[in-house]
């Protein structure tokens, strides 16, 4: 698994310079959605909740950083920490209120939160220019001699952000806090008996998730050169959920695989945009019923079967 990851990373660094600009764009889009899916994967797989307001975290980071640049003359790099701090702070607040709720209530409240954020962006026209959106959003200024004003340069920025997010989450999960989070997901009541502060660990998880979503959000404005409230509707969050479920819940690679399946493939095949929500829904139902482990589960299952078959054969030979 690890060697596979390294191999893939090398390919993702080495190949794009030789690709057509459109394909580089498509790859950037896929990785960007990979970042969003990763953030949702943390909520779904490690807190055990569904956040229908995840797109709002993305939107807040995107708008905050772009507004700081357009209205107050911040650079991309100086706006980033401010926007991220805002998102994480808001996530903590939302988490402290909503993560006390059990069962479907968290999902419902976050649904409301997402819609409220979208409506504020739509209607606060003086600040956000409403449904017409903010434009043009310039590419990030060059940093340490690296330039991001070409499709390729920007692609590498997206790639680096994904790698950083992935590394940070991998570390988090292996750290003490991550193990507590898994314990809470496994059995919330028992975690309480063991003395783990349940709410605190859920809120920490949500904050990390919002941080990753925010990192992706910083990039989406410069990537599309415009920001509009329509990009952050409920379907954006649902798409993230579908990616995680299709790829495999409770893993880090799962959401990325899901993003490849749901962004790269439909775009590459580019058919029937209007049918997308329907197809997403259908796919979600099929995967949940027939493939509860997602693509990752299928791969793992296949590998174990292969290796156990191989072992069986060896035993016979002996």
Residues of this chain that bind other proteins (CB under 8 A):
176, 179-180, 182-183, 186-187, 189-190, 192-197
User: Minimum distance from CB of 179 to other proteins (Å)?
Assistant: 7
Closer residue to other proteins (CB): 48 or 133: 48
Structure tokens belonging to residue 243: 């990616």
Closer residue to other proteins (CB): 193 or 290: 193
Please tell me the distance from the alpha carbon of residue 281 to that of residue 43, in angstroms, as a whole number: 20
User: Minimum distance from CB of 88 to other proteins (Å)?
Assistant: 23
Q: Which residues contact 180 (CB under 8 A, 6 or more apart)?
A: 191, 196, 201
Structure tokens belonging to residue 281: 């829904």
User: Minimum distance from CB of 46 to other proteins (Å)?
Assistant: 14
User: Minimum distance from CB of 20 to other proteins (Å)?
Assistant: 46
User: Minimum distance from CB of 193 to other proteins (Å)?
Assistant: 5
Structure tokens belonging to residue 58: 């993305």
Closer residue to other proteins (CB): 189 or 316: 189
User: 227 phi and psi, to 5 degrees?
Assistant: -125, 130
Closer residue to other proteins (CB): 136 or 197: 197
Do 190 and 60 meet the contact criterion of CB atoms below 8 Å apart?
no
Closer residue to other proteins (CB): 10 or 175: 175
> Terminus-to-terminus CA distance in the chain, angstroms?
29
Helix, strand or coil for residue 146? strand
Helix, strand or coil for residue 258? helix
**Closest C-alpha to 264, from 246, 249, 282, 248:** 246
User: Minimum distance from CB of 225 to other proteins (Å)?
Assistant: 46
Helix, strand or coil for residue 15? coil
Greatest CA span in the chain, whole angstroms? 78
User: Minimum distance from CB of 177 to other proteins (Å)?
Assistant: 10
Do 159 and 13 meet the contact criterion of CB atoms below 8 Å apart?
yes
Closer residue to other proteins (CB): 73 or 195: 195
User: Minimum distance from CB of 315 to other proteins (Å)?
Assistant: 22
Q: Which residues contact 113 (CB under 8 A, 6 or more apart)?
A: 53, 56, 94, 98
Closer residue to other proteins (CB): 182 or 298: 182
Do 178 and 46 meet the contact criterion of CB atoms below 8 Å apart?
yes
Structure tokens belonging to residue 54: 């995840």
Please tell me the distance from the alpha carbon of residue 38 to that of residue 57, in angstroms, as a whole number: 13
User: Minimum distance from CB of 74 to other proteins (Å)?
Assistant: 40
Closer residue to other proteins (CB): 141 or 187: 187
Closer residue to other proteins (CB): 181 or 240: 181
**Closest C-alpha to 293, from 235, 239, 247, 258:** 247
């Amino acid at each position: 698994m690890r060697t596979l990851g390294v191999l893939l990373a090398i390919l993702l660094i080495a190949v794009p310079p030789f690709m057509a600009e459109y394909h580089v764009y498509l790859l950037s889009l896929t990785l960007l959605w990979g970042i969003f899916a990763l953030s949702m994967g943390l909520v779904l797989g490690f807190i055990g909740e569904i956040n229908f307001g995840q797109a709002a975290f993305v939107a807040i980071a995107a708008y905050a950083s772009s507004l700081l640049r357009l209205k107050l003359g911040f650079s991309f790099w100086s706006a980033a920490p401010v926007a991220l701090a805002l998102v994480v702070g808001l996530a903590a607040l939302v988490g402290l209120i909503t993560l006390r709720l059990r069962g479907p209530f968290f999902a419902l409240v976050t649904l409301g939160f997402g819609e409220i954020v979208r409506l504020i962006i739509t209607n606060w026209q003086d600040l956000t220019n409403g449904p017409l959106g903010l434009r043009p959003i310039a590419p990030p200024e060059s940093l340490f001699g690296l330039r991001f004003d070409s499709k390729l340069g920007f692609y590498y920025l997206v790639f680096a952000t994904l790698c950083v997010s992935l590394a940070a989450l991998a570390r988090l999960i292996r750290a003490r806090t991550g193990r507590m989070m898994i314990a809470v997901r496994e059995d919330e009541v028992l975690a309480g008996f063991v003395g783990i502060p349940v709410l605190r660990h859920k809120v920490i998880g949500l904050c990390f998730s919002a941080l990753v979503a925010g990192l992706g959000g910083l990039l989406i404005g410069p990537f599309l050169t415009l920001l509009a409230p329509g990009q952050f509707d409920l379907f954006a969050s649902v798409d993230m959920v579908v990616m995680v479920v299709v790829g495999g819940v409770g893993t880090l690679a799962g959401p990325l695989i899901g993003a490849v399946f749901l962004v790269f493939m439909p775009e590459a095949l580019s058919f029937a945009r209007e049918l997308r929500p329907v197809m997403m829904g259908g796919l979600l139902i099929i995967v949940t019923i027939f493939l509860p482990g997602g693509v990752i589960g299928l791969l793992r299952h296949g590998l174990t079967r292969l290796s156990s078959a191989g072992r069986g054969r060896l035993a016979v030979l002996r």
